[in-house]
Amino acid sequence: MSIEAQNITKKFGQFTALDDVSLEIPSGELVALLGPSGSGKTTLLRVIAGLEFADSGIVLFDGADTTHQTARDRRVGFVFQHYALFRHMTVFENIAFGLRVRPRALRPSHEKIRAKVDELLKLIQLKNLAGRYPSQLSGGQRQRVALARALAVEPSVLLLDEPFGSLDAKVRMELRRWLRQLHDEVHITSVFVTHDQEEALEVSDRIAVMNEGRIEQVGSPDEVYHRPITPFVYNFLGNVNLFHGRINEDKDSPAIHDAATGDVVYVRPHLLEIHRQPNGGPNFRATIKHINSAGPLVKVEAITEWGAPVHVELSQEKFRELHLIKNESVFIIPKELKIFQKQVVS
């Protein structure tokens, strides 16, 4: 089922959580709403779910207006950030809940409910914990139960609010791969909220990057990462070096002019190269201040000739080859620069 949100505005008192936001989600896609806290991503998700009503704007499911339907009528599966499992019910009863509360005419028989729950328990690999209470489960297990509970009612849309937000890094990694696999099997239109750019890039088909109640860019992970259209998107998706200045094409002078009135130049740390010699291309000089070689990449902090800090990432092989040492003066060659006009930033 496709989802379309048109011109959604939502205010909480003086605070504008969503400011004329429009978003289209094609059927069967897994879409991430990515942004820092307070960017309105959870509010947008709740408006889509019908748990929150927009001050203006409409929400369409498969082209049908659902703006005035409640969450109950929209038939969405919602997974809450803190799981919201029913604490007095077992895992089995939690998953069966959505089926048991159906009107008598639509309610499946006891055997059918049992079969459905068993099938879901198998899907989330928790078959042996059906009789446990939520308080006896780990965070990752609770999260999977919450997901199974949402899927039990066979929703047309699955909405997940920071699904892995409160899990530790390792479990998080496993669960998000599992979610991706699950989506490839079930193919239900899904939207999930996250503040973790890595998570969004890894899991989703498309990403909507949000900031201050607006959508900055919508696109595939590749698009938003490699072709960001606003400084915010560039900044939010991955580390970045930011210089105020102007690009110099002249080979003999520094590649970047430091100027307070110039444009803003963005360059990712791994797109900077360190050299001992200026090999002809545009470059600038810098002094190495700190080296962190733990991890897959070596992170080098340096100070440019005009006094700005710069971060460079290079491979371990390259690092060993260069024998870089602290306080050494080197040449930095940018391989790719992204320039945003001054007006865009301010």
Partner 1 sequence: MATSTLVAGKVPSARTAATAATGEPALVRWILTGVAVVFLTLFIFVPLAIVFSQALAKGMGVYWASLQTPDAMAAIRLTLLAAVIAVPLNVVFGVAAAWAIGKFDFFGKSLLITLIDLPFSVSPVVSGLIYVLLFGLQGVLGPWLARHDLQIIFAVPGIVLATIFVTFPFVARELIPLLQAQGQEEEEAAIALGASGWQTFFRVSLPNIKWGLLYGVILCNARAMGEFGAVSVVSGHIRGRTNTMPLHVEILYNEYQFAAAFAVASLLALLALVTLVAKTLVEWKARRQLAESALWNGEAV
Taking the least distance from each CB to partner 1, the nearer of 58 and 84 is 84
135 belongs to the binding site for partner 1 (CB under 8 A): yes
The least distance separating partner 1 from the CB of residue 168, rounded to whole angstroms, comes to: 12
Residues 139-158 vs partner 1: string with x where CB under 8 A?
A: x---------xx-xx-----
d(CA 141, CA 166): 12
| Consecutive H or E run containing 74 | helix 71-74
Taking the least distance from each CB to partner 1, the nearer of 78 and 331 is 78
The least distance separating partner 1 from the CB of residue 88, rounded to whole angstroms, comes to: 4
Structure tokens at 65: 């207006």
Among 58, 84, 247, 271, binds partner 1 (CB under 8 A): 84
Structure tokens at 135: 């308080």
CB 41 within 8 A of CB 35: yes
Phi then psi dihedrals of residue 275, to 5 deg:
-135, 155
The least distance separating partner 1 from the CB of residue 156, rounded to whole angstroms, comes to: 12
Among 14, 72, 317, 327, binds partner 1 (CB under 8 A): 72
The least distance separating partner 1 from the CB of residue 122, rounded to whole angstroms, comes to: 20
87 belongs to the binding site for partner 1 (CB under 8 A): yes
d(CA 338, CA 184): 35
Determine the size of the site formed for partner 1 (CB under 8 A). Answer: 32
d(CA 326, CA 335): 23
d(CA 303, CA 329): 9
221 belongs to the binding site for partner 1 (CB under 8 A): no
The least distance separating partner 1 from the CB of residue 62, rounded to whole angstroms, comes to: 19
Q: Residue 108 burial (CB < 10 Å; 0-12/13-18/19+)? A: middle
Q: Which of residues 151-210 bind partner 1 (CB under 8 A)?
A: 152-153, 166
Among 1, 58, 60, 71, binds partner 1 (CB under 8 A): 71
d(CA 297, CA 307): 25
Among 35, 40, 77, 245, binds partner 1 (CB under 8 A): 77
Q: Which residues contact 78 (CB under 8 A, 6 or more apart)?
A: 49, 51, 71, 150, 159, 160, 161
Structure tokens at 175: 């669960």
Structure tokens at 248: 């110099």
Among 83, 92, 164, 236, binds partner 1 (CB under 8 A): 83
Residues in touch with partner 1 (CB under 8 A): 49-51, 70-72, 75-78, 80-88, 97-98, 101-102, 133, 135-136, 139, 149-150, 152-153, 166
